[in-house]
Amino acid sequence: MTQDGKLVLAGAPIGQVGDVSPRLRQVLESADVIAAEDTRRLRRLATELGAEITGRVVSYYDNNEAGRAQELVETLKDGRTVVIITDAGMPGVSDPGYRLTHLAVEAGITVTALPGPSAVTTALAISGLPSDRFCFEGFPPRKPGERARRLGALAAEERTMVFFEAPHRLASSLAAMAEAFGATRPAAVCRELTKTYEEVRRGGLAELAAWAEAGVKGEITVVVAGHTAAAGEPDIEDLVAEVDRRTEAGTQRKQAVADVAKEAGIPKRELYDAVHRRSLTP
């Protein structure tokens, strides 16, 4: 059965209210239901846009997303228009939105988007790093061990990588990236994009980690250059073989990996993962 309901993913400003689509006011005024990550921020945004909200406003955030999505999809099946709006940027991009979108698609309900600003593409564009191919990795894991494993798996990623990070974890994340990707891997830290105190710091990962140690505030997006094979770069299999030779001579494997990686100028994690894979090969 054809459904008359419609789900609208509405892009919210990441800083300047004037950057959003002029259609946002119309969409907010005409929606039957608005699912907002923060209802107070929605009210402030509506006031700044001069929009009069007449529909029902419900909260829709990480902790209630699963249950609320089930409720909202029933509303959509009744032929209503539901708008999802998060605190900033596009719903579903490291923000609530995916679950309801998935359920709506499964139910055959029309899903559309009201395009708006995105910290991902804004940071990528102004980073000065290659932007023809990129991947978005969201927030790195909070726990150091999980973060090291995730970043280690990305050490050979050739596309430019974009991350979000909380300001109080920025220094430790940049240090972990320097460990996984190499101290001099080019990167850019974009802070408070489009806002009054917008700042972009560019440099090697170790340099940026040292800068962040003093403390950083605001919304953070990190852009990191992808891996590029330098001329004359040693073959990873040759380096694994060198680690094997040193361990057979009595050096502990962890120390052998660290020494060989440093001498070759590659991230220690990249070599460790290669050694680990070799140990699993029959």
Token pair of 262 as six digits? 């440093």
- Whose CA is closest to 208, among 200, 217, 219? 200
pLDDT for the residue 2 = 46
* CA quadruple 181, 223, 184, 236: dihedral sign: positive
CA 56/CA 181 separation, integer angstroms: 48
Taking each helix axis as running N to C, give the angle between helix 39-49 and helix 23-30, from 0 to 180 degrees, rounded to the nearest 10.
120
Rg over alpha carbons for the chain, rounded to the nearest Å, is 23
Work out the angle at residue 128's Cα, subtended by the Cα atoms of residues 122 and 133, and round it to the nearest 5 degrees: 70
Q: In terms of C-beta density within 10 A (0-12 exposed, 13-18 middle, 19 or more buried), how is residue 73 classed?
A: buried
DSSP-assigned beta bridge partners for residue 114: 10
DSSP string, 30-55: H-SEEEESSHHHHHHHHHHHT----S
Cα 262 to Cα 101, 240, 255, 256: the distances in Å are 47, 13, 11, 10
Where helices occur in 107-249 by DSSP H, the ranges are 119-126, 144-153, 170-181, 205-212, 236-248
Residue 117: phi and psi, rounded to 5, are: -60, 150
Token pair of 55 as six digits? 């529909």
Q: Which amino acid appears at position 161 of this protein? A: M
pLDDT for the residue 233 = 61
List of the chain residues with pLDDT < 50: 1-2, 231
Q: Which amino acid appears at position 239 of this protein? A: L
User: To which residue do tokens 């988007």 refer?
Assistant: 113
52-93 pLDDT per residue, tens: 999 999 999 989 998 999 999 999 999 999 999 999 999 998
pLDDT for the residue 242 = 87
pLDDT for the residue 123 = 97
User: Collapsing DSSP states into helix, strand and coil, what is residue 76?
Assistant: helix
pLDDT for the residue 28 = 97
Q: Where would I find the beta strands (DSSP E) of the chain?
A: 6-10, 33-36, 56-59, 81-85, 110-114, 134-138, 160-165, 186-191, 199-204, 220-224
